[in-house]
Amino acid sequence: MLQKFQTRSYHPVAWHGPIPELLNIEKLRQDLQQLNRAAIDLALLRSVPQVVILHGSADRIVSPAKGKALAAQLKCPYFEIPAAGHALPFTHTAHCQAILQAILQAILQAILNQRLNP
């Protein structure tokens, strides 16, 4: 089950290698089984000051349509990364980092402007 999940998560990038030793395999297995029954708590997500959705265009775990729908419900930024799957923070690290760094810089600049121009 874990091998299949990892392969699907990394698609379209090929995943090679063992499952890292630091993972709690039993907890991961339980979490994967619960995903089919899980629901997103929109109220909880709306309480978070800044939500940003990064989504791979080739995600086989959660479709891009679901990511876009969630972004619309939360009225938050949505970034779709071409040729990336579900594991895009691992397969497209630099792309994800660039997006998040730009967002964080904008937040910090807004805070700075607020303090300089009360």
* Distance, C-alpha 105 to centroid of its chain: 19
Domain 2-116 has CATH 3.40.50.1820: yes
Looking at the chain, the whole-number percentage of residues with pLDDT higher than 70 is 90
pLDDT tens profile 31-89: 777 776 777 788 888 888 889 999 999 998 899 999 999 999 999 999 999 999 998 88
Nearest to 59 by CA among 4, 8, 7: 8
Assess contact for 81 and 92: CB atoms under 8 A. Answer: yes
Q: What per-residue confidence (pLDDT) applies to 19?
A: 61
Instruction: Residue 102: count other Cβ atoms within 10 Å of its Cβ.
Output: 10
